[in-house]
Chains A and B, each alone.
Chain A
Amino acid sequence: MAEVKTSRRDFLVKLAQGTSLAATGGFLWAHLLRQEARAQPYALRPPGALPEVDFNAACIKCGQCVTACPYDTLNLAPAGGGIPIGTPHFTPRKVPCYLCPDIPCMKACPTGALSPELKDINESRMGLAVIDVENCLSWKGLRCEICHRECPLKGKAITLETHPRQLSKHAMFVPLVHSDACTGCGICERACPTQEAAIRILPHNLVQGKIGEHYRLGWTFETEITQDFKPAAPAAPVTPAEAPKEAPKEAPGVDYLNRGL
């Protein structure tokens, strides 16, 4: 009888020891994974990369994209480098992505972490170019514009805009990045002549805001009324579609302030 008791106690103690050991090890391991997977949000991924969380899940860390890249753009992150371990990334200031039309890195990916749904390299969104207007030569009034000229989507991803210059009749020509066309290839960052690049590529989620769907820009015709915002009362506000019907009643530019003048 006593023997049975001892072995039961032994069993329970062993069970508790094993469980706590497994739990401790599991928590440590999980912590390590969380640290590593969220290592840093600044990694620029090859074209076609899935969103960061999915990419981290899918990438098998084989480096076939790295070998496939003809420009040696891509690197596999070594351990302790701050970028999720073993995943491909690039540093545009060193070597940007030159936007191969056949996208060899994506084709080399065996797991689909670089999604084969990307058909046109110009549709890739590796990041977004951001201009530091305090250090941009064009914003200093110089005719630099190198980023604009080097941009493979010149006129779409980067346009030149005029900007008034203090105490001068001459305008400045300043570059402006458009997120709907910018691939994040980083050729502009590579080309920027300042000591530290004044235009650089950052992941979208670090630079892009979101206006929120409840804002209705009533003065643009593209803005649809979202499902979330429906006027409760039947007295609906004047929709843009109805506006032109009323407009012809009065001459253009006439409203209640100058009516009858």
Chain B
Amino acid sequence: MSTTKTKWTVNLKVYRKKGQKAPYYDQFTMEVDPDEYVLDAIERIWAFHDRSLTFRHACHHSTCGACGMLVNGVEKLTCITYIRDVVEDGGTIVIDPLRNFPIISDLVVDMSLFFDRMEMVGQRQVIPIAEEIVGSSQKAQSAGNGKEYLRLSDCIECGMCISACPIAATNPDYLGPAVLAGAQQSGLDKKPELLQIVDQENGLWRCHSAYECTAVCPSNVDPAWRIMDLRRQVTSQRFKRLFR
């Protein structure tokens, strides 16, 4: 945001990688407004300092999920991360691409396997309002006029939970938090074929309840809670089968 307030001078230390060449860090010293977002500063690097910098971004208000990066080692949706929350005047912000994804160039990672898995579990991006309730933390808005309202679901597929997950770091075949959360949202009762996708070696039993996913989720999806709920669904199905 552009304001008349005091400007800060900060250093942006940015991860760089092109083609097969070795990665390195570039440092850009910039005048910023502490009330700007980290993505604003990154976009200004591209606009005014280095046209070769590549990064993903689209909506700039946390609905698209494209701009997830590591900011000082922590997963952040950079479009809603204030500069004043991650650095002080004169300090340095280190920007890295998300972990646990192949790097295409600089801050751009390859999300194709992740999107493949999200599609596989049938995560819905538009759902009835009443269905998108996380734990007990939210109340559904009552539908007016007998009409069932729909809304875009909470998960914006930013991949930040995969980046933060300690299991995903050691096992690339692990489906990962967003994917398992997507399966939970789809529901085993509605999609029984999901059982064999999630109830397997690299599925929901791999989770060690580190809760890093829920900690970094910018959209209140609470993947850790959803994985635990999915376990309950699977256990209940197994139990039912025993007595059939």
Do A and B share a complex?
no
Residues of A within 8 A of B (CB): none
Residues of B within 8 A of A (CB): none
